[in-house]
Amino acid sequence: MERNVLNTLVFSVFVVLFFTSISSSASSQYQTLVVNTLPSSATLSWPESKSFSDESVSESTTSLSVHLSHVDALSSFSDASPVDLFKLRLQRDSLRVKSITSLAAVSTGRNATKRTPRSAGGFSGAVISGLSQGSGEYFMRLGVGTPATNVYMVLDTGSDVVWLQCSPCKACYNQSDVIFDPKKSKTFATVPCGSRLCRRLDDSSECVTRRSKTCLYQVSYGDGSFTEGDFSTETLTFHGARVDHVPLGCGHDNEGLFVGAAGLLGLGRGGLSFPSQTKSRYNGKFSYCLVDRTSSGSSSKPPSTIVFGNDAVPKTSVFTPLLTNPKLDTFYYLQLLGISVGGSRVPGVSESQFKLDATGNGGVIIDSGTSVTRLTQSAYVALRDAFRLGATKLKRAPSYSLFDTCFDLSGMTTVKVPTVVFHFGGGEVSLPASNYLIPVNTEGRFCFAFAGTMGSLSIIGNIQQQGFRVAYDLVGSRVGFLSRAC
């Protein structure tokens, strides 16, 4: 009798474990995508412009929280439909990738084009996401000078030098705010030629060739855009925090795809970037959390944010070490070991395809300004084929722009899609379904948001980063990911 009871108990436990295992396996293979198409009309509005006065700021603020909003209304395309804005975003994305790969090529000597690099408290600020911008996807409101001139600046982890348009202009593009006039600021100071700070620019020979007493900077981008002017120091004011003596470019000649924002806040890994320059105050730590690209930061959705200081790096993040490119210090290189689809490692995707070699070729970078993740062609084809194999129950649709794997989800409210997981050195990052199967129109066409590149450099874009707090720890030489942390 006791033996029969024991056998029954053992059998019951086995059945429970068996079906639990099946359920767990199934959950690692598929997840639910909520089918939300692009809206048929614009739903985003420009936020109230914040002002930053000297009376409301502190030089030793330890934390700060600011609500964020969408930036679509900043550009001349603000009346365009969401579908048109998405097309523009993909066009900009191609130029962005071209710019990054061009810079990487220059650093390894494969392109002879001359360039100058773009070069315990904390604070956080408003990050504004825009489909319609010509210069970048995410923007921040801040004050420049004393008294502060309030402007919007592009956030860019792929650049180092902080710069903005200054009057008088030899050539300036249209921006949404008044152009900064250094003569009206009590804290503006030019950097002299021959100074230590001037020599930190890659090419300070302009001082000699132009016989200038003021240090001159020039930043050129791969898409043909450029900015040049006086290298200087100035006070930047964020909501609740003032940072003095920030090295920045005061651009008098600025041409290219910079419509809307006043300039750029370089967040790269190089010595002239904002995180590097403020390392003694913010410990070389910052993080951002980007909500989906159609969010306006309404009460129903959390806003995008950027945080500087110790609070920027959550201890529960999945961390992966930063790799160093001996030829280029701007980009954040990560160790990508492989990718899983539907709970299984993709055989054709391996660490060797993402290796950063001794000459600076190859590798994987994470970038705030690139939208769509680019993988080396062989890795992309293997990933795409694995996803197609796991999504055979979904109705295929024609290709769209750079996307060659699309589906017709019209009439559906939810669908099951294969899971996608990045395997980094140090941990795994599982992507939400909405970070890799995205709407491209109002009729229900969704596309696999990855693309291949014929070059050796792979880029993890901001669509795949959405909803994660992505933490950069320059002192600890690591990057962290924490899901659902906006």
Q: Which residues are catalytic?
A: 156, 367
The single-letter code of the amino acid at 294 is T
| Run of H or E residues at 380 | helix 377-390
For 157-240, list the strands marked E by DSSP. 163-165, 189-190, 216-220, 226-238
Rg (CA), the chain: 24
Tokens of 130: 């825009």
Please tell me the distance from the alpha carbon of residue 216 to that of residue 229, in angstroms, as a whole number.
6
3-class secondary structure, 369: coil
DSSP count for the chain of H helices, then E strands: 8, 29
Contact 449, 481 (CB under 8 A): no
Cα pseudo-dihedral 205, 258, 307, 89, rounded to 10: -130
Tokens of 174: 């249209």
Nearest residue to 115 via CA among 270, 258, 263: 270
By CB atoms closer than 10 A (0-12, 13-18, 19+), residue 256 is middle
List, in sequence order, every residue forming a beta bridge with 377; answer none if it has no partner: none
By CB atoms closer than 10 A (0-12, 13-18, 19+), residue 202 is middle
3-class secondary structure, 9: helix
List, in sequence order, every residue forming a beta bridge with 458; answer none if it has no partner: 364
Nearest residue to 226 via CA among 188, 265, 252: 252
Neighbours of 197 (CB within 10 A): 17
Neighbours of 42 (CB within 10 A): 18
Contact 124, 271 (CB under 8 A): no
Which residues neighbour 391 within 8 Å (Cβ) at sequence distance 6 or greater? 407, 417, 418
**3-state SS record for 11-50:** HHHHHHHHHHHHHHHHHHHEEEEECCCCCCCCCCCCCCCC
Q: What is the DSSP letter of 351?
A: G
